[in-house]
Amino acid sequence: MSALAADAIEVYRTATRNNRMGMWLFFFSELFLFGGLLITRFALWVDEDGHIIRPELDQNVGLIVTVVLLASSYFMNRSEVAIANGRKRDFLVSLWITGFLGVVFLLGVVIFEWGLIQLPFIEHHIGPTDGVFGAVIFGMTGMHAIHVITGVAFIVVVWRNGRRDVYTEERHWGVEACAIYWHYVDLVWIFFYPAIYLIGHAVH
C-alpha cells in the first residue's frame, strides 16, 4: 500500500470516529425530546385521583405496527452486516425490505391509527382535538413519524448509492449511520408503544 493510500484510510478512520461521536451526541440530544414527550404523557394522562390512565385504542393496530417496526430493525442489521462482509446483493435486498417495512409502519400509523381513512373494523378513533388524549397521541406518534419518514428517506438515499457501489467493505459510514439512526428510532418506539397502548387503565 502506498503511503498516500495509507494516509487516506487513516483520514477516513478519523473522520468516521468523529462522525460516530457526533451521531451519538445527536441521539443523546434527541433523548431529551422524546423524554419530554414521555413526561408530558405521564403528566397529562392521569385522572383526578392521580391514577395513570390511557385511552382505549385499537390494540391490534398497535401490536401489528410494533411488530413490523421491530422486524425492520432486524433487516437493517442484516443489511449492515452484509455490506461489512462485501455481500452487496444481500445488503441491497435487506435494505429494501427495511424501507418497505418502514413504509408499512407509517401507513399503519397514519391510515389506521390516525384514522386518515375511517375503516369500519378499526375502533376508537381519536382525533388531535380530542383533549389530552388526542394531543399526546398525535404529539408522540407525530414526532416519531417524522423520524421514521426521515429514516425512510435516508434508506432510499443509501440504497441508491449502494447500487452505484459507493460503499465498500471498509468504507460504508453512510450505511452505518443509516442503520444506527433506524435502530434508534425503533428504540424510541419501544418506549412509546407501552406508554400509549399498555400502561395505565383504559378509559373512554
Q: Name the residues that contact other proteins, by CB under 8 A.
A: 10-11, 14-15, 17-18, 21-22, 25-26, 28-33, 36-37, 39-40, 43-44, 128-136, 138-139, 142-143, 157, 160-161, 164, 166, 174
Angle at 48 between CA 44 and CA 52, to 5 degrees: 50
In angstroms, what is the minimal distance from the CB of 170 to other proteins?
15
Contact 195, 41 (CB under 8 A): yes
> Of 183, 202, 189, nearest to 23 (Cα)?
183
In angstroms, what is the minimal distance from the CB of 67 to other proteins?
28
At 160, the amino acid letter reads R
In angstroms, what is the minimal distance from the CB of 197 to other proteins?
19
Distance CA(2)–CA(119), nearest Å, equals 64
Comparison of 146 and 190: residue with beta carbon closer to other proteins: 146
Helix (H, G, I), strand (E, B) or coil at 46: strand
22 conformational bin, left if phi > 0, alpha if psi -120 to 50, beta if neither = alpha
Comparison of 68 and 106: residue with beta carbon closer to other proteins: 106
Comparison of 22 and 86: residue with beta carbon closer to other proteins: 22
Nine cell digits for residue 6 = 495509507
In angstroms, what is the minimal distance from the CB of 94 to other proteins?
19
Comparison of 157 and 190: residue with beta carbon closer to other proteins: 157
